[in-house]
Structure 1
Amino acid sequence: MAPFVRANVYSHMPAQCQAGAGFPTCRTLQLGADRRRPAAAFSAVRRRSLTALRAVCASAVQDGRLDAQVAVVLGTQWGDEGKGKLVDILAQQYDIVARAQGGANAGHTIYDSSGKKYALHLVPSGILNENAQCVVGNGVVIHLPSLFEELATLKEQGASTEGRLIVSDRAHLLFDLHKEIDGLREAELAGKQIGTTKRGIGPAYASKATRNGIRVGDLRDLDAFAAKLRVLALDGQKRFQGFQYDVEADIERYKDIARQVLPFVGDTVELVNDAWEAGKRILVEGANATMLDLDFGTYPFVTSSNPSIGGVASGLGLAPTKFQAIIGVAKAYTTRVGAGPYPTEIFGDLGEDIRRIGAEYGTTTGRPRRVGWLDIPALKYATRINGLTHINLTKLDVLSDLATIRLGVGYKLNGAAVRGMPSEIAELEKVEVVYEDIPGWETDISKVRTWDDLPENARKYVARIEELIGVKIEWIGVGPGRDALVVQP
């Protein structure tokens, strides 16, 4: 007997898309009296339904406005995709912009309408919208001295944050001792380093997981805070030879820090849920990216949090049933910082040229990024995990000089096609990439602002990516500025 499956073809459709299309708002489409259908028949139903889904969800973006009360922007590759720019643009339409995970290892570069550049690390990229409240959620690890430096820099640049930034009292604190441990851990690996930013992110999350971490709310009782920090420092001293950290000096420093930060510390779980119930619009800014996810990325060459969709729910306390648009950001090629497998990596002069044209150097560290062709298996993997409803393809202009663009459309291992994404690093390092060669457009597109004005081959490149991943590319970046964006009709 043929296996039966339940038809959940609309399960990831935003609610407003369902209603707008006249689809049932229930999560499961009823097919027959017993709500079952043979799997072979279901595949055809799913194909037709997903085609309808893409068309309907595309209509959710009209006249530049995203029709979603809660929208999430996530990285789909190895980070540095340009999430900050889209968040900055969409933030003009939202009441709250929130970070849910990661720390100062995230670097988001944005530009205001006059072209002034802002480099952000902990502050959400919606900070340039003076009407938006910016939230640093409980899933973020925060080095408060770095946060104050960032706020001071923004003030010098003329961007006021007063009264608009709130930090979760449940967020964990990252101390200089975590940075010290980060460097000592990398040194221990002796040639097999992960390639961390050495900003203490991993050790801070480790403290959280081993339950000796210290949270922002602990600063309300400085005596208890001091006792906890002494225990944390002792743990590092016992574990690492050469560990150097003056805990008493840091306790004194944090007395002043506590006075500065507590006025904008609060219960962000209550805040975002109250806002949602009041009909306010919430935009969530992801940090890092899916291929660096602690569970789904190229482990162990990953970050220490969940930059995929699950990290949004756990890092903000906002239920996933409230997410209406989940936007994946992907470069028109790929980049990666640090060690780890990278199947489509480009070496030699071509790699150097793309790195130079794309200014592929880390916002946080300044390190040169590795570059590669667009990896469709990785992008499809990220699409599935996150339930993406839209794609923002960035830096298409960087490829403008190329006569031929390679698109990695599949993997082979020992001559056989690979399904999904290999979980083992040893396998991923050995895969052979199956490429399609696509004609380039060989003309500058940085001034293009409409879909019809893009060269035909550029439109064909975008269309081919859409065809392979099954999600509409809504926004196309053609330059660093806020206005350098093409919206596909």
Structure 2
Amino acid sequence: MDIVLGLQWGDEGKGKFIDLISENYNITARFNGGSNAGHSIERNGRRITLKMIPSGIFMKGVQNVIGTGTVLDPVSFKKEITNLQTFDNTVQPENNVIISLKAHFVLPTHKLLDVFMEESSDYITIGTTKNGIAQAYSNKILRQNVRVGDMYAPDFRSRVQHIVERDYKMLTAGGMELPSLEEISNEFFEAVEFLKRFRCTETEIYLNNALAEGKTILAEGSQAAMLDIDHGTYPYVTSSSTTASGASSGLGVSPKNIGEVFGIAKAYCTRVGNGVFPTELFDELGEEIRTKGNEFGSNTGRPRRTGWLDLPALKYAVMINGVTQLVLTKADVLSGLKSVAVCTHYELENGEIVSVSGLLPENGKPILKWMNGWNADFSTMKSPSELPKEVIEFLSFLEAELRIPVAYLSTGPGRNEMLKLTGK
């Protein structure tokens, strides 16, 4: 099983890369997150954002698994399936999407609870997508939630109603204006009936049997390493494990079966929502990169914060994930700049130097290494030999610092705008 995951704060271009290489695999499998993900894929000059559905959905003969470590919002899933079939009516998701019986549901009141906590002064505001993901995961940990397999139980409706009514009562007491309880409940149960059209099974057994038969699996992570619930920049993180170890637990596949770990990173950094961001740019250059790179959330549309590449954080992400190959995106966005910068380390107030860190210092001074910029039309490049020497120097610097190869370089947003530099 190979793994693709983001190494920064998300939006690195995972969907595009997975769509590109998924034809080499029999199965693509989502191992974490929910409809808070947003993997953008371009096909035939049009773009679609996938939330729950794995990015291998467009490949004929590829099965797409929504694993146990995910949380599934049936209402959002139904809308996504409808949107997918409108986008490409040749796709048959009912035949090639498999859902874990053990994945947890996002219930109707979970989104409302997200909104309530984000708007209440009693809670830390972290900039959540308000998709109810944290609420579903927290109720999972509290053992107060329902799973996909429960939808076949005769008392499923009453169990869900009990939870929803309890939440609704609490939100009402908190003074929140709410939609009709009957309305959101009916929408949920209608979507659950739609969900029953799909194959729901013990995906752990399905995946391990596939491996035993010699089939290949590509595990797909949502969000990114620096948003991991344990290893990210807490509390401004997501609610699940986004790392390579999360792929093993989220899919029920032994770590000994992990092969290549593809880590995706931009040539600069972006972040959506609150949280520490040592290399953030607040000037016109930051705005230029945001505009040129179309740095707006694929799921929410929110403008992304932009900054220089953060090498201490990237080294940390490579280390904890065991990354074997780096995929670098958005170098084309920096084209035209006379010089580009990389943060090589932080200098703390006490003079301490930090060169690898997941606990990014809020008051640390980023020490920047400036390198010659490049000016080239990446969209016309068909071979690595066409890359400007400044880009090659930039890539060589990253390889030396990270001690892994830059195996792929994105040259634009299109599906095929990717150069293979090395790797298997």
Normalization by structure 2: what TM-score?
0.94
1:248-297 deviations in whole A, cap 9, x for unaligned?
44444444333321232222111111111111110111100010011011
- Cross-structure match for 2:221: 286
2:166 is the alignment partner of 1:234:
yes
Q: For residue 145 of structure 1, what is the amino acid of its counterpart?
A: V
Moved more, 262-271 or 391-400: 262-271
Write out aligned runs for 1:66-465 (5 A). Answer: 70-112=1-43, 114-158=44-88, 159-160=90-91, 161-189=93-121, 192-235=124-167, 237-238=169-170, 241-243=174-176, 244=178, 246-264=180-198, 265-414=200-349, 415-421=351-357, 423=359, 428-465=361-398
Structure 1: distance between partners of 2:46 and 2:60: 16
CA distance change for structure 1 residues 143 and 156 in 2, over 3 Å: closer, same or farther?
Answer: same
**Distance (whole Å) between structure 2 residues aligned to residue 222 and residue 335 of structure 1:** 47
Structure 1 residue 444: deviation in Å?
2.1
Cα pair 2:2 2:260 within 8 Å, conserved: yes
Contact 1:293 1:302 in 2 (8 A): yes
Contact 2:108–2:164, Cα closer than 8 Å, also in 1: no
Which amino acid is the alignment partner of residue 79 of structure 1? G
Q: Are 2:109 and 2:167, in contact at CA under 8 Å, matched by a contact in 1?
A: no
Q: Which amino acid aligns with 1:242?
A: G
Matched, 1:484 2:417: yes
1:263 maps to amino acid: R
Once residues 333 and 374 of structure 2 are traced to their aligned partners in structure 1, the CA distance between those partners, rounded to angstroms, is: 11
- The answer to whether the 8 A contact 1:229-1:247 is kept is no
Q: CA offset at residue 420 of structure 1?
A: 3.2
* Structure 1 residues 227 and 422: alpha-carbon distance in aligned structure 2, compared to 1, 3 A threshold: closer
* Contact 1:333 1:372 survives alignment (8 Å): yes
Distance 1:231 1:150 in 2: 25
Deviation at 1:190, TM superposition (A): 6.7
Task: Tell me, yes or no, if the aligned pair for 2:108 and 2:185 is still in contact at 8 Å.
Answer: no
Q: Which stretches of structure 1, 4 residues or more, deviate above 4 A after TM superposition?
A: 245-251
Where 1:234 maps in the other structure, the secondary structure is helix
Question: Given that residues 230 and 247 in structure 1 are in contact (C-alpha distance below 8 angstroms), is that contact kept between their aligned partners in structure 2?
Answer: no
Secondary structure of the residue that 1:105 maps to in structure 2?
A: coil
CA distance 1:180–1:290, change in 2 (3 Å): same
**What CA distance in whole angstroms lies between the structure 1 residues aligned with 2:48 and 2:187?**
28
Q: 1:212·1:232 contact (CA, 8 Å) conserved in 2? A: no
Separation in 1 of the partners of 2:55 and 2:187?
Answer: 28
Which one has the largest radius of gyration? 1
Question: How much has 1:446 moved relative to structure 2?
Answer: 2.3
Deviation at 1:241, TM superposition (A): 0.7
Q: Distance in 2 between matches of 1:291 and 1:370?
A: 15
Q: SS where residue 167 of structure 1 aligns?
A: strand
RMSD across aligned positions (CA): 1.7
Deviates more, 1:242-251 or 1:179-188: 242-251
1:278-335 deviations in whole A, cap 9, x for unaligned? 1111011110001001101110000011111121112111111101011100001110
Q: Following the alignment from structure 1 to structure 2, what is the Cα–Cα distance between the partners of residues 481 and 371?
A: 22
Contact 1:226 1:251 in 2 (8 A): no
> Offset at 1:422?
5.5
Cα distance, 1:229 vs structure 2: 3.3
In 2, the alpha carbon distance for the partners of 1:192 and 1:253 equals 30
3-state SS of paired residue (2:219): strand
Secondary structure of 1:449 counterpart: coil
The 10-residue stretch of structure 1 (182-191 or 263-272) with the greater mean CA deviation from structure 2: 182-191
Between the aligned partners of 1:197 and 1:284, the Cα distance in structure 2 is 23
SS in 1 for 2:95: coil
Report how far residue 403 of structure 1 moved: 0.5
Q: Output the amino acid matched with 1:358.
A: G
What CA deviation, in whole Å up to 9, does each residue of 1:442-473 have, x standing for no partner? 22222212111000001111111111111111
Instruction: Provide the rounded CA distance (Å) in 1 between the counterparts of 2:163 and 2:286.
Output: 47
